[in-house]
Amino acid sequence: MTVDDHSFLTGLFNAAITAADADLVLAANLPERPKGKTVVVGAGKGAAQLAAAFERVWDGPLEGVVVTRYGYGYPTEQIRVLEASHPVPDEAGLAATAALFEAVRGLGPDDLVVALICGGGSALLPCPPEGFTLEDEAELSRVLLSSGAPISVMNTIRKQFSGIKGGRLAAAAAPAKVVSLVVSDVPFDDPAQVASGPTVPDTKTREDARHMAKAWKLTLPPKVQAWLDGELGQAPRPEDPAFDGNEVRIVASAHLSLEAAAAASRNLGVPAVILSDAIEGEARDVGKVHAAIAREVSIRNQPFQKPVVILSGGETTVTLHGRGRGGRNTEFLLSFALAAEGLPVSALAADTDGIDGSEDNAGAFADGESMGRLRERGINPSVLLAENDAYTAFEALDDLFVPGPTGTNVNDFRAILLR
């Protein structure tokens, strides 16, 4: 990959991140000041940056608490920032959940709750049903994360095994008005799916959760399955009077960020197309499909004319078969690079929150010669892909993309450049 291609693709990623800049998107979506108190709650990997931005743009007194992932804290003056484990919940997450409930307890109809919600909140807000433990919820998380099921399936099940997800936090704040300002990291921007919707009720039911678990052949922990088979503790419905008067606003999303990246590419003289901002499926399969499209463009100049940047977003999944390192974006890219080998192509795949999986990278870069360079080092890329070890592949090539936490999260970002 040339330095120019590297810089070009990084510029597109930066344009996508800027489109989700917390100060800009919050300033454009502020609710009216209430007669009473303003209480801010929030959860997600970008919650601390959202809280700091809200303090900067809000004209009036406020208080509150948000929770983010370990290492993602950010200085604030009036809003407490707590940190907890992601993607598997821990005791700090339990304490954070209790703190959010305490923040909204005892509010009246003249008070306002502003909920700053972004991706990652599902793990950061554990709240197992009565009679269950944190370990029960953690085990459920481990099963779901390794299942390959789409985020909509995972969140539907999570909401039926929780005391805070599925709108329950907003219900606890009643009769105060709740305005949810949501940074969407889910396909088609359903706010009830972001962070499993702690302040946004869902139309999905316990029966839906049972059906999805069966359809995806999920082997849930026996205690969790028994709970799911019962009817106790179901998530509140959208028509519940507790939600009357509440508002939900999508303030940033994959769609808006991909449009910004496309505009940045065109400004640099390279046409851009967006395949979709809602692509789901196995990361390695999505990688092969993207490579097939790139090959069609490279050889036949269809369905797009060269030069072109092909952009896409969404949230792929990884079904674990091996014990390697790497998240869904690096796995996508390794599969893509194998299938696109020999093409005059450069690509970047990264998570917009700055962390892909459990390592320190957001994703990686690749080109048509990456796999050849890997073999020259005595490394078989196909073996690494079979072991879910994409991180090792791009680490060996010195092609990891490590921007650090971005302060936002609008899901996967993929850019494929054909000169």
Going residue by residue through the chain, which has 419 residues, state the pLDDT in tens, using 9 for 90 and above: 455 999 999 999 999 999 988 999 999 999 999 999 999 999 998 899 999 999 999 999 999 999 999 999 999 999 999 999 998 999 999 999 999 999 999 999 999 999 999 988 999 999 999 999 999 999 999 999 888 888 889 999 999 999 999 999 999 999 999 999 999 988 788 999 999 999 999 999 999 999 999 999 999 999 999 999 999 999 999 999 999 999 999 999 989 999 999 999 999 999 999 999 989 899 999 999 999 999 999 999 999 999 999 999 988 988 878 777 878 999 999 999 999 999 999 999 999 988 887 788 999 999 999 999 999 999 999 999 999 999 999 999 999 999 988 878 788 999 999 99
Q: Which helix (H) or strand (E) holds 79?
A: strand 79-84
DSSP E strand boundaries for 189-299: 247-252, 272-279
Calculate the alpha carbon distances from 168 to 91, 189, 224, 323, 390 in Å. 20, 20, 19, 36, 38
Q: Provide the token pair at 303.
A: 């369905």
The answer to whether residues 330 and 348 touch, using CB atoms and an 8 Å cutoff, is no
The candidate with the shortest Cα–Cα distance to 20, out of 343, 239, 261, is 261
Per-residue confidence (pLDDT) for residue 156, from 0 to 100: 94
Calculate the alpha carbon distances from 25 to 38, 147, 258, 403 in Å. 19, 34, 15, 21
The answer to whether residues 252 and 20 touch, using CB atoms and an 8 Å cutoff, is yes
Please state, in angstroms and rounded to a whole number, the distance separating the CA atoms of residues 252 and 396.
35
Per-residue confidence (pLDDT) for residue 3, from 0 to 100: 53
